[in-house]
A and B are shown apart, each in its own frame.
Chain A
Amino acid sequence: EVQLVQSGAEVKKPGESLKISCKASGYSFTTYWIGWVRQMPGKGLEWMGVIYPGDSDTRYSPSFQGQVTISADKSISTAYLQRSSLKASDTAMYYCARHRLVGAFGAFDIWGQGTMVTVSS
Chain B
Amino acid sequence: QVHLEESGGGGVQPGRSLRLSCVASGFTFSNYGMHWVRQAPGKGLEWVAVIWYDGSSQFYADSVQGRFTISRDNSKNILYLQMNSLRAEDTAVYYCARPHFDHSSSAADYWGQGTLVTVSS
Q: Do A and B come from one complex?
A: no
* Chain A residues within 8 Å of B, Cβ to Cβ: none
